[in-house]
Amino acid sequence: MGADIRIVGSGGYVVHLDICEELSMECVGRAHRLYYAALRELSGLVDEVVLGVTSLALYYDPRRVRASELVTSIKRVWSWAREADLKELHRPRRFTVPVVYGDEYGPDLSSVAKWAGLSEKEVVRIHSSRVYTCITLGFTPGFIYLGEVDPRIAAPRLETPRVRIPRGSVGIAGRMTGVYGLESPGGWRLIGRTPLTMFDPRRSPPIPIAPGDEVLFKPVEPEEFSRLSGVFVGEYSP
């Protein structure tokens, strides 16, 4: 098992797990198994479980449990979770996200097309023709990391990040695509923007999309943007 995942303690209250070193959906699936199994089995021992792209962090109270003991429990959970059927740990929901591509909504669509050697229309078709898995959420509230992007349009992130990206912007960074839940700085190439409200801090939960859920992008015309503006992602039906 040691050669399998890397487990390391940090700071006296974090156990960090690296599932693998490089992004692959196979690795993400393993991380999701461990994430949902840990939520189910270890909630009495840990305060919070947070998922990275290929890693997890378990936050614990050292007055209640020590890292050495927690690691033993993690290994026990992993021994069955690694073979478990992910759908039994988390039944994925599917969300459709309407997107206006290009122009002011996606200022980097042209650079992605240029990088890919394809037309903008072709990039849009490729981007919106597969069902993505939510890898995790993070860095800013409601940002969803999705995978895996077709290698033909997997343009790298920008050399210089933007200081301000409007909420709802849809970006590409290599084999991942994502949606900015709130206005934030960021370095992903922006190819479009959804009019939906992806993150609403006053709702519970503020965003209904969870790791392992499916997201499908649906190209819509700019005229649709104002009509759909402010519709909550959990309440949109295509």
Partner 1 sequence: MSIAPRLQVVYVAGLATVQDLGRRGYRILGVPISGALDRLSAAYANALVGNPSSYAVVEVFGSVKLRPTVDAVVAVTGGYPRVFVGDVEVAPWTPFYCGAGSEVSVVPTGRGYAHYVAVSGGVLCEEVMGSVSTYVRGGFGCLGRALRPGDELGVRPVRADDLWEGVRNARPPWEVVARSADPGDPVVLRVTEGIHSHLLGDLSTLLTSEYTVTPESDRMGYRLDGPALAAASRLGRLPSTPTDRGYVQVPPDGKPIVLMADAQTTGGYAVALHVVQPDTDILAQLRPGRRVRFRLVSLEEAEELTSKYLAELENPALAVAEEEYWT
Q: Which residues bind partner 1 (CB under 8 A)?
A: 8-14, 16, 18, 21-23, 47-57, 59, 61-63, 66-67, 136-143, 145, 181-182, 184, 199, 201-202, 205-207, 211
Residue 125 CB, shortest distance to partner 1, in Å, is 28
Nearer of residues 50 and 118 to partner 1, judged by Cβ: 50
Residue 226 CB, shortest distance to partner 1, in Å, is 22
Residue 220 CB, shortest distance to partner 1, in Å, is 25
Nearer of residues 95 and 145 to partner 1, judged by Cβ: 145
Residue 123 CB, shortest distance to partner 1, in Å, is 23
Nearer of residues 56 and 153 to partner 1, judged by Cβ: 56
Residue 194 CB, shortest distance to partner 1, in Å, is 16
**Rounded distance between C-alpha atoms, residue 110 and residue 14, angstroms:** 43
- Map tokens 């923007």 to a residue: 193
Nearer of residues 151 and 201 to partner 1, judged by Cβ: 201
Nearer of residues 174 and 219 to partner 1, judged by Cβ: 174
